[in-house]
Each structure stands twice: as C-alpha cells, then as structure tokens.
Amino acid sequence: MTRPLRTFWTLLLLLWVLGGCSTVPTEPSLIEESIPDPAAPAKQLEEQGKYLEAAKAYQQLAASKVPPTKQGYQVSAIQAFLKAGSLELAKAELAQFNLTQSFGLEIPLAFIQTEIDLAEKRIEPASTRLKGIEISSLPELLQIQYRQLQAKVRLAQGQIVPALQEWRQLEQVKQSPAELSANQRALWQGLSSLSAQQLTQELQRQPEFWAAGWLTLALLTKNVQPKYLTQAINDWQLRYPNHPAKAIVAKNLLQEGISPTALPQKIVLLFPLKDSQFYEQAEAVRQGFIAASQQITQDRSHVETERVDESNVLSKYEQAVKAGADFIVGPLEKEPLALLSKKQAVLPIPTLGLNFLEDRVRTGNFYQFSLAPEDEVEAITEKAFADGRRKALVIVPKNSWGARVLKAFETIWQQRGGQVVSSLSYETEVKALAGKLRGVQADVVFMVAFPKEARQLRLLLAQSLGATLPVYSTSHVYAGIPDPNNDRALDGLLFLDIPWILTPNTQALQLQAGLEASSPQGMRQLRRVYAFGIDAYNLLPQLQQLGEQNSLQWEGQTGQLYLNKQGEIHRHKLQWAQFVNGIPQLIQMPSPIVIPVPVQGR
C-alpha cells in the first residue's frame, strides 16, 4: 500500500467520492437533504451485469466533473471494465488517471492494480500488494473487495480450498442480492479458469458439500459434451439440492441456449465376457433391453455391445465416447463398475450402471440400477411391522448373498424397533435346521429361499413352530410360472413380486410372448432378469429428461421406480401375494388371511 488511510474524515471522503456525489461536505451535520445520485443509471447497469455500458456511463460522468469527483467516476469506470473482462480498456482509462489528484483513492487503485496483475499472470506482485494492506482498517465495502481479491490470488497460486474458504466467508457477510450475485460470479469465474485436472484433484480430496458442489459444477462444464450439458446440470441439481450455485450459475447455464437433450440414438452396452459367472444373466438383460428398444417404432435406438472386465472397462468406455455413443449402459459386474465410477468426478456422457456399489459415489452423469434384494427387504419389514409383528426368526441361505440379505433385514428391522430373536442359515439339506427351531419364540418368520428349498422349509417351520406362524418371503420363493401341485406346500406364505410376474400390462404381455418364442429356456429360469433389461432401456429417456425438480418416479416392469439424490434407482410399492391352493393370489394391505399349512408326519 502506498500509504494508509489516515483518519475518519479520509474514510468519509473516500466513500463520498466513490458514491459519485459532486461535492464533499465539510461536516456530516450539514447534510440536511438527500441529493439525487447522478451515478444511479450506471450503478443499475452494473447490477444488471451490463458492465461495458456501465463503464461508458461512468466515463461520461467523469468527463463532466472536476477533481476529486472526476477521479471517483474514473475508478468506477475502470472497475466496470475489469468486471467486463476488458483489460485493455481498463488500462487505457487508468493511463488517463491523474494520480496527483487521487487523495483517498489509494486502496481502490491498489485493488485495480491487483486485478490487472492477476489478469496478466503476475501473481506474486498481486499477493505482495494485498499483504501490505491491513484489512481491519478498511470500511466494510472495501473489506469485501479485499476478500474477493484474496480469493483470486490464492486460486491463482493453486490454493483452491483456501480460495473457496474466502469466498464462503463472503457469503456470510450481510450483502444485497446484487452483491451476493456478484460474489458468486467472481467465484464462478475463478473456478472456470482452473483446468479439469485441477478440479478433479480437489474433488478427490472429498471436500464438504458446499465446496464439492462448486467444484463439480465447474468440472462438468469442462468434461461433459455440449449436447449433454443440460442433463448434466439437472443431474448436478439432483445431487446438490439447495446449493447456492443453483440460483445463479446453474440457472444461467441452462438459459444459455443449450438445446434439450435428444433421446439416445446410439447406446453402447458394457457387458461381461463369455467366461464370466454372470454371462447368462447379462444375456437375459441384454435381450430384454433390445426387445424393449425394438418394440418402439419411433426413435429406435442403435444398440451395440462391448465385452468388458476390470482390465479393459476404462479403455472400452473411452472408445465408446469417442465413437459417438449417446448413452452407456453397464457394466453389470461390481468390480468394473467401481472402476468406472472412479474414472472422473463427472462422466462425459450419461451412464447407467447395472448394479449397486457398496460405497456411495458422487460421480456426476452416473446412475445405478439393480434388482437389489434390499428393496424387497425394506418392503417386507414395512409390511410385517404394520401387521403387528415384532419378534422375527430369519432363515437365509448359507452363502455371501444370504449374509447380505440377513444384514439388510437385521439393520432395517431393528431400526423400526423390532427384534431378531434368531437367525439361521441352511445349505442343501434344510432338515438340519429342525433342532435349531425348537423353542424359538417368534411371531413372524422372514425366509429367503428358492422354490424347492422354500417348500421344505415351509413344512419344517409348520412342524416345529406351528402351522399358523406367518411367513414372509422375497420374490425368489416363486418361480414366476404357476405350479399348483408343488406350491401347495407354500399355502399361506406371503411374498412380494414385480408387476411383470403378478400383473403384467399390455406391453409386458407382448414382450413376454416375443421372448418366450426366442428364448424359452431363459424365460423359464431368468424371467425377472429380462424385465430388468426392459426397464433399463425404458429408463434412458426418463433420465435424459431430468427436469429442474429432479423428482423422478414412474411405473416399471420391475416395480415403481424412483431416483434418489445419489443417482440410485430403487424399487418400491411392490405387489404382495399369498399362496392359496398353490396359486399366488394378490392381496391388499392390511393383513392377509391366515391359511394353515397341512402338516405331514405329526
């Protein structure tokens, strides 16, 4: 700083000159009436973001005034030129400035020179100049300008988090809406100057919500292809609700003439290799997906399949993007899906992963969809609790999948206030559980099993704990095709299932007929997986038309689907059925009729 502000009267002079008044009062007590502000039109132009017009208006005012008012308007003109990004015009006006008549304008001039240094990449002089100014000696308006410049200097030095902290402190200062807007524009301009690599590195450090929202929004404007920018911004609004950037920056980006995203014309499926243990399931998903795409006579999509695993998923993804894919679907296996989710903070095109990852991800333009058993467990605990059940016996297969379902049930059931009195696991021989069932005091059984094991378990439960003890199960208990001769053993058991199985609509019936003809064996074994593929295709236009509210909920073949703020698509409001004479019968809430199971051998 050339010299510090000396006294209270110097500060008063400074504020009076910057306010554009034509005379300077000798004492505050002599100000008895309001004087119209000749700079009001110029200030209004600034508030509207019309900085060039404002600068010219200030220049015209300066030309008609004498010192020191003339210099005050010149400073305002230079500042407006800088806000407009017109560095040369700002320097030209500064060259006309008479420094000998600039008493009281030392600080604004120092700030102007700092802005010019930053614009011309002279970072250290800019930093040194600010260090020479004592912020506590400045009036509030200049303190705000100081912090804005400090944030820009730190950003230019690569100190991104400290820069964001400065800007966030400014948001806590009492300012007018126009001043807050200007602060956000300055923040956005600073972030926009960073490279995609810098933004990605900061996001990898897992910043908190406020900073992550700004960094992610800046990154998506660099990473996302222009035709997908509208969707990417709407996706950002879903993941960062009520973020301060939404009102100004995101809204302006959406209004910059970006055309609405078209329905996907080229889709690339990233599916498992033939030696994968999930190859058959993936083929059922793929066939369902293609069947759904071919059922639509208009806007038919071109679908390609690429085989991926952990070793090539990233390269295959990049190839698909470069080849003009509009949407990527997959991977289906968790390992390559996890690699893709960590590829970058914002993916360049919309991507629908066909599984759920254990760790929540923030990746933009990335969605997850799965027939997760946790969705069914959530619905089962809700109904059982509504039916007045509190003490649960849980029976699951003795494998990693059974352990996953058990953990989900225990967590949700206990959160609701229920008690798991016993949890048992079985292998192929379910009779081994007989001794473990004696003496169990439960008022409900949660059983996870496929039809063959379920029939044996149902009989064993009736023999050990009574024929009227209610049993709830997941969709796995029903093969999807009526089998009354064998399923009479399941009479009274309650389970929930998807519309594709229990109440197929016209579209479902048409698709089922075609798939039965082309893949009869697959439809017998993986009936629900085909429906999952159909829903995956039907999701794409829904996701591409995310609106400002980002509240998606629609009827699918696998249930009523909804999109949460993490980009996960879950199912809820699944349909309930009860076996009656070996045939599933739809039931409505509340409780179903108690149907005793015929107990053999007692």
Please name which of 231, 226, 304 lies closest in space to residue 265, comparing C-alpha atoms: 304
Neighbouring C-beta atoms of residue 491, cutoff 10 Å: 19
- Which amino acid does the sequence have at 80? A
For residue 139, cis peptide bond before it (omega within 30 degrees of 0)? no
- The DSSP line for 512-535 is HHHHHHH-HHHHHHSHHHHHHHHH
* Residue 22 confidence (pLDDT): 33
- Helix 8-18 / helix 69-83 crossing angle, nearest 10 deg: 60
pLDDT of 176 higher than 80 = no
Residues 560 and 397: their CA atoms lie apart, in Å, by 28
β pairing state of 553-556 and 559-563: antiparallel
Q: Where do the DSSP E strands lie in 127-265?
A: none
- Helix 123-131 / helix 106-119 crossing angle, nearest 10 deg: 160
Residues 15 and 12: their CA atoms lie apart, in Å, by 5
E strand or H helix at 394, and its extent? strand 391-397
Task: Note the helical H segments in 466-526.
Answer: 484-487, 499-502, 506-518, 520-525
Neighbouring C-beta atoms of residue 60, cutoff 10 Å: 12
* Residue 462 confidence (pLDDT): 93
Using CA atoms, how far residue 178 sits from 38, 47, 84, 140, in Å, is 20, 6, 16, 16
CATH class given for the domain over 8-193: mainly alpha
Residues 408 and 544: their CA atoms lie apart, in Å, by 31
Cβ contacts of residue 147 below 8 Å, gap of 6+? 135, 166, 167, 169, 170
* Residue 69 confidence (pLDDT): 85
pLDDT of 37 higher than 90 = no
Task: Note the helical H segments in 194-304.
Answer: 196-204, 209-223, 229-239, 245, 251-254, 279-295
For residue 560, is it left (φ>0), alpha (ψ between -120 and 50) or beta? beta
* Residue 354 contacts residue 536 (beta carbons within 8 Å): yes
Domain boundaries, the chain: 8-193, 223-242+252-370+503-569, 374-498+576-586
Residues 464 and 466: their CA atoms lie apart, in Å, by 6
Place of tokens 């496929």: 450
* Residue 556 contacts residue 579 (beta carbons within 8 Å): no
pLDDT of 411 higher than 70 = yes
62-66, 186-190, 268-272, 565-569: which range is least confident on average? 186-190
Q: Considering only residues 392 and 253, tell me which one the structure prediction assigns the higher pLDDT.
A: 392
**CATH architecture of residue range(s) 223-242+252-370+503-569:** 3-Layer(aba) Sandwich (3.40)
Assign 175 a pLDDT band (cuts: 50, 70, 90). Answer: low
Mean pLDDT of the chain: 85
pLDDT in tens, 434-487: 889 988 999 999 999 999 999 999 999 999 999 899 999 999 999 999 999 999
pLDDT of 254 higher than 90 = no
Task: Judge if 223-242+252-370+503-569 and 374-498+576-586 fold alike in CATH terms.
Answer: yes
- Helix 51-63 / helix 87-95 crossing angle, nearest 10 deg: 10
Mean pLDDT on 266-290: 95
Describe the strand order of the beta sheet including 559-563 as a list of residue ranges. 302-308, 266-272, 327-329, 346-353, 364-369, 568-572, 559-563, 553-556
* Residue 536 contacts residue 289 (beta carbons within 8 Å): yes
Using CA atoms, how far residue 487 sits from 179, 369, 435, 574, in Å, is 71, 31, 25, 21
Q: How many residues does the chain have?
A: 602
pLDDT of 138 higher than 90 = no
Please name which of 528, 429, 516 lies closest in space to residue 476, comparing C-alpha atoms: 528
E strand or H helix at 446, and its extent? strand 444-447
Residues 562 and 571: their CA atoms lie apart, in Å, by 7
Using CA atoms, how far residue 296 sits from 233, 302, 326, 537, in Å, is 28, 12, 18, 11
Neighbouring C-beta atoms of residue 509, cutoff 10 Å: 10
Please name which of 437, 431, 389, 430 lies closest in space to residue 409, comparing C-alpha atoms: 389
Using CA atoms, how far residue 40 sits from 21, 47, 69, 139, 490, in Å, is 11, 11, 15, 21, 82
Query: Euclidean distance between the first and final Cα of the chain, in Å?
Result: 98
Structure tokens, 177: 């809406």
Q: Which residues pair with 446 in a beta bridge?
A: 394, 472
Please name which of 157, 141, 77, 142 lies closest in space to residue 111, comparing C-alpha atoms: 142
Q: Which CATH superfamily is domain 374-498+576-586 in?
A: Response regulator (3.40.50.2300)
140-144, 257-261, 411-415: which range is least confident on average? 257-261
Neighbouring C-beta atoms of residue 546, cutoff 10 Å: 22
Using CA atoms, how far residue 155 sits from 127, 187, 192, in Å, is 11, 10, 11
195: exposed, middle or buried (Cβ count in 10 Å: 0-12, 13-18, 19+): exposed
* Residue 85 confidence (pLDDT): 81
152-166, 339-353, 521-535: which range is least confident on average? 152-166
pLDDT in tens, 191-237: 888 888 888 888 888 888 889 999 999 898 888 877 778 888 888 88
What counts of helices (H) and strands (E) characterise the chain? 27, 15
pLDDT of 97 higher than 90 = no
Using CA atoms, how far residue 277 sits from 272, 283, 391, 449, 568, in Å, is 9, 12, 37, 21, 24
* Residue 262 confidence (pLDDT): 55
Please name which of 225, 161, 169, 166 lies closest in space to residue 194, comparing C-alpha atoms: 161
